[in-house]
Amino acid sequence: MKKVERINIIMRYINNRSHFTISEIMQEFQISRSTAIRDIREIEAMGMPLVAEVGRDGGYFVMHNAVLPEVRFTGNEVKALFIAFMATRNQQLPYLKSRQSLAEKLLGLISKTQQEELVHLNQVLLFEGTNPNNPDLLDLSDLPHPMLEKLIQILLTDSYLEITIKENGQAKTVPIYLLHLYREKSLWLIEGYNLKMEKKEIFPVDNLTDVAVYPTKKQLSRKKILEKIRNQKENINLIVELGHTAIAQFKKYHPLNVSISYTNPYQTTAILKTYINVTNQEELTDICNWLLFLGEDITLIEVSKEVLEVVKKRLSSYRLK
């Protein structure tokens, strides 16, 4: 660790404590006594008011109301933060109001020259969903689903949830263990383990009408849930190898419960493993139509006879002129 970096960290360390000793600094930062004393003296010289206590158990404390020196960003750090804010416009992210206040605080911390650079960047950089005639304009689509922030607030304290989903005009309540909350193809999705049906499912947040903590969560532990998911994965009956063209098609569209694993560092080949319920005719038809959508750049490594029959039937239905 460089000296400047170490001193900055030590300053934050001691500023958050009412009392500290040289021995504590030595142990925390793995430095010698002479180095610790030298660093403390440099911190005092920078303006942090430290008071030394005399005695066998003496040490230091920071004078009341003392604060760290103001945070300073490098030019590249400011640009990185600002571009990150710009890139998240119209992305349906939660805490949109907080994003605006963060941007205002960032502008208040930087110099006039840095502010002028950001104004120029705002004029010339455009991202997906940005109005070129008015870059500051936020589309209505930038507003996330109203339940998203409530969902995030609850999952920070508990992963066992009771969600209410509206499908085909009907509301149903599903007890789940939340595995992931993620955003894909402009949609926020919940990946959860259905505690009632004992299977992993994907739920669109747009269909969410309510969320609460599941009261009987102790019926199934996280360890048992993950074990059941691993066992279900063993029932894979469709394995497909994708080439570059098929991967491009996959990115355009794929079922929510299907994912790929890249098999080389350049992400030009991938493997897809999933389970198809061949007794569900609707699911079977949908997956077969999707396989045809992927195109010719695929290799079927493992496939059930039911899938092959539907694919052949679909191909034979095409008319040739």
Domain boundaries, the chain: 3-62, 75-142, 148-232, 238-316
Res 297: pLDDT: 93
Task: Give the pLDDT band (50/70/90) at residue 5.
Answer: confident
More confident residue, 246 or 77: 246
Tell me the pLDDT band of 137, cut-offs 50, 70 and 90: very low
What pLDDT is attached to residue 130? 62
User: Which pLDDT does position 138 carry in this prediction?
Assistant: 46
Q: 167-199: per-residue pLDDT in tens?
A: 878 899 999 999 999 887 678 889 999 998 888
> How do residues 83-121 score in pLDDT, each as one tens digit?
887 777 767 778 766 666 777 777 777 778 888 888 888
Q: Which amino acid is at 235?
A: N
pLDDT for 46-65, tens place per residue? 777 777 776 555 677 776 54
Which pTM does this prediction carry? 0.57
Domain 148-232 belongs in CATH node 1.10.10: no
Do 3-62 and 148-232 fold alike per CATH? no
CA angle 305–289–264, rounded 5-degree value: 85
Contacts of 164 (CB under 8 A, 6+ apart): 171, 172, 173, 174, 208, 209, 210, 211
Residue 173: the pLDDT is: 93
Binned at pLDDT 50, 70 and 90, residue 243 comes out as very high
List, for residues 258-289, the tens digit of each pLDDT value: 888 999 888 999 999 888 878 888 888 888 88
pLDDT band at 140 (very low <50, low <70, confident <90, very high): very low
Q: Is 151 exposed, middle or buried (0-12, 13-18, 19+ CB in 10 A)?
A: buried
Higher pLDDT, 237 or 142: 237
Phi/psi at 208 (nearest 5 deg)? -80, 130
Q: Report the interhelical angle of 96-109 vs 75-87 (nearest 10°).
A: 160
Q: How many helices (H) and strands (E) would you count in the chain?
A: 11, 11
**Cα torsion through 153, 159, 163, 167, rounded to 10:** 110
Which of 4-13, 135-144, 291-300, 304-313 shows the highest mean pLDDT? 291-300
Mean pLDDT of 198-205: 88
Give the residue-averaged pLDDT of 133-160. Answer: 75
Which CATH fold topology does 3-62 show? Arc Repressor Mutant, subunit A (1.10.10)
Please provide the size of the chain in residues.
321
